[in-house]
A and B are shown apart, each in its own frame.
Chain A
């Protein structure tokens, strides 16, 4: 019986190469990642063909949900701190240092100013449940109206950071008057240029924009 002897090979394989790849990918994802900012409400934005990306820094985000509630957020912890100090002084809210810190590290707010103190004093879990039932930041069609708290927020935010880009992220089902109030408030502060956040959709064929996009591609 002439059995060919199969040489027994070691089951150990060299893991070094695999390890290299794994860590290379890990480094890539660690550097490329940017954590999603916490959203107070779920917003489904409408689609448009516009492909301008959202700027990285200096963004003021005004979120409007289906019920027309407005949430306000800016990026950068230091600017948030400056903003809350500014609004605290202007509206004499008597916020403590810890409450102002809570604002600086928090995400967005959507609460009337008179409830802000108790909101900032509560835990993040409590804040989430408050966000569910809040009425949003009160606003009005004129900036001079004392009820227009959004106007104060925008003014203070622009005092602390004049470079702010204003972005409106509204739900497609939000009623037009709720968005219109924001636009009117912005116009009241002489802000005529702002961005609307939309999803990207493809350009329909046979239209002027489609022809233009094709011409740009050929060049």
Chain B
């Protein structure tokens, strides 16, 4: 404590050896700090993922192996459009549910196209169901139903595209169903008729 006393004695004159303290500027060079700031900004800008991935919600029909056949809803074939997804993004479709063995449906081929693709077909079918409702052949409760049956050669993008068509065309009722042997036969016959191998 005693040492302190010597430097700041009584506040009188400084000795000849004591230098006058220079007034330092309070300004500091900010350039390196700005450099660093921008470097970090660049880093975060490149690593950030601002756009979050989008998802499509899907609800599968409730399935229970113990469910009795009588409890299942019967689908009127006049409201149904069956869509078979096959290889090379080809789509086979027919009206109805294809359960009538005597009366085989007229299976047609199309694809995901802007013109005359599956979309136009869905829109036509929708109009048809609406007309039938107006004429009284169908009740107001009946809704157009699309049965999507992807076969083993189709890809996941076909399925998503098809589900997307349902959203695009505002089809309320649709279901993804396992393909049956009957449908496989339809595809085979249509392929033969159209010369597709």
Give chain A nearest CB distance to B50 CB in angstroms: 7
Of A74-82, A88-96, A149-157, A186-194, the segment with at least 4 beta carbons within 8 Å of chain B is A186-194
Q: In the complex the two chains form, what is the Cα distance from A139 to B101 in whole Å?
A: 36
Distance between A55 CB and nearest chain B CB, rounded to angstroms: 8
Across-interface contacts of A173 in B (CB, < 8 A):
155-157
Chain B contacts for A199, CB-based, 8 A: 53-54
B57 in contact with A195 (CB, 8 Å): yes
Interface residue tally on A, bucketed by range: 35 or more
Q: Kindly supply a per-residue 1/0 record for chain B positions 51-68, scoring 1 wherever the CB is within 8 Å of any chain A CB and 0 otherwise.
A: 011111111111100000
Per the CB 8 Å criterion, the residue count for chain B at the interface is 50
Prevailing SS type, chain A contact patch:
mixed
Chain B residue contacts of A145, Cβ below 8 A? none
Q: Closest residue of chain A to B32, judged by CB?
A: A15
Q: Does B4 lie at the interface of the complex (its beta carbon under 8 Å from any beta carbon of A)?
A: no
Is there contact, CB below 8 Å, between B60 and A50?
no
The docked-state distance in angstroms from the alpha carbon of A213 to that of B93 is: 28
Bound together, the chains give a CA A212 to CA B171 distance in angstroms of 13
Q: Considering the chains assembled together, what is the distance between the CA atoms of A175 and B153 in angstroms? A: 7
Instruction: Decide: A46 near B156, CB < 8 A? Known: A32-B48, A192-B59, A197-B54.
Output: yes
Taking CB atoms and an 8 Å cut-off, the chain B residues in 17-39 that contact chain A are 29-31, 33-34, 37-38
Residues B152 and A175 in contact, CB atoms below 8 Å apart? yes
- In the complex the two chains form, is B160's CB within 8 Å of A172's CB? yes
Cβ A29 vs Cβ B41 within 8 A: yes
A164 within 8 A of B: no
B34-A209 in contact (CB<8A): no
A172 close to B157 (CB less than 8 A): yes
Question: Are B44 and A26 neighbours in the complex by a CB distance under 8 Å?
Answer: yes
Given A19-B33, A197-B54: A29 in contact with B167 (beta carbons within 8 A): no
Some 19 contacts from A to B, beta carbons below 8 A apart, are A15-B29, A22-B38, A30-B40, A33-B47, A33-B49, A47-B164, A48-B54, A49-B167, A53-B52, A172-B156, A173-B155, A175-B153, A192-B59, A192-B63, A195-B55, A197-B55, A198-B164, A204-B114, A207-B169
